[in-house]
Structure 1
Amino acid sequence: MLAEPSLQENNPEKVREDFPYPWWILYVDGVVNNNRAGARVVLITSEGHHLMSAIHFKFYITNNDAEYEALINGLKIALEVGVVNLIAQSDSELVVNQVNGGFQSRGPRTELYMRCVQCLLQRFGSARLEGVPREKNGNAEPWKKWACKWTMCC
């Protein structure tokens, strides 16, 4: 006698809804100094693996722009690898508060950056942007050592 197929076998969307997607963490940081500008991105998988990326800007950019660029690129990377639930963390109080609605954006470029981040955050199943102290951003010594080998000295 054959067993009756389960409800889940007949409804693949139901299976997808019931599957708990793990949370990933994204750390971002933009850096501008006298002769260099760049961004650091660390995406931590639900299993604890670190995916690191560094961006070097060869054009004039402000520190706030670098922070936004780091966040935008980090969010795009997370979407590209299929992250569904994300906690993004930045040490830029300005960026975090502008994106979350606590501060107004000033100027058309900042407004575009802010709206881009808000749009990207909406593409996740669940996502939020949190502020973290500078010393806790980047999540660990291996990242700092790797970043310093690149071009951005600590």
Structure 2
Amino acid sequence: MSASPDEDFWHLQVNDASNYKGSRAGLALVTPDSSNLKKAITLSFKTSNNEAEYEALLVGLQMEKDLVMKKLAIHSDSQLITSQTIREYMRKHLKMAQYLEKVRKQLEAFQTYTFTQVLWVDNAHTDALAGLSFVLNHQLKRSILVEYLDALS
């Protein structure tokens, strides 16, 4: 029996939410055994959508680094961030160049990584996490358990 090519990859999905209420982000980290770690992030400073997405990516990369992962598959619905990271787009603005430099520096810690742009619908759960942080009091640390129930037969 042969192993799946990405069997030992960790998967990081990131998303942003930036509007008149502030800037938020969400991320989901999926382990090779399909365990999930999710995080809703409240940014205490104003950002654009792309900056908020970069912030989520940096938080996720730091989590990965702290957990000593070596193989990482990153998924984002941001065409700009995906294309800048894989060097298809050149960065034009100083702020984007600074974020890109931080991301590339963190990526050096990984043996290998991939970066894929996904459709928004395939990243909806991280969008929901980003949105969730708009309604939660950021001063309270909490865990939110989600339970799925089957109908009685």
Q: Which has the higher helix share?
A: 1
Cα RMSD, aligned residues only:
2.3
> Which amino acid counterpart does residue 25 of structure 2 have in structure 1?
A
Whether 1:59 and 2:42 are equivalent positions in the alignment is: no
CA 1:49–1:97: 2 relative to 1, 3 Å: same
2:134 maps to 1:151: yes
TM-score, reference length from structure 2: 0.77
Find 2:57's aligned residue among 49, 71, 79. 71
Q: How far does residue 138 in structure 1 lie from its aligned partner after superposition?
A: 4.9
C-alpha deviation, 1:150, in angstroms: 3.6
**Structure 1 segments of 4 or more deviating over 4 A?**
146-149
Give distance in 2, aligned partners of 1:129 and 1:149.
Answer: 25
> What's the TM-score, normalizing by structure 1?
0.77
Match of residue 134 from structure 1? 120
Distance 1:131 1:152, change over 3 A: farther
User: How far does residue 139 in structure 1 lie from its aligned partner after superposition?
Assistant: 5.2
Query: Structure 2: 5+ residue runs without aligned partners?
Result: 1-6, 137-153
Partner residue, 2:78: 92
- Pairing partner for 2:16 from 14, 30, 37: 30
The alpha-carbon distance between structure 1 residues 55 and 134, as it changes in their structure 2 partners (threshold 3 A), is same
When residues 97 and 52 of structure 1 are mapped into structure 2, their CA distance, relative to the original with a 3 A threshold, is same
Q: CA deviation at 1:64?
A: 1.0
Structure 1 unmatched runs, 5+: 1-20
1:69-111 Cα deviation digits (max 9, x unpaired): 1111111111111111110100000000011111110121110
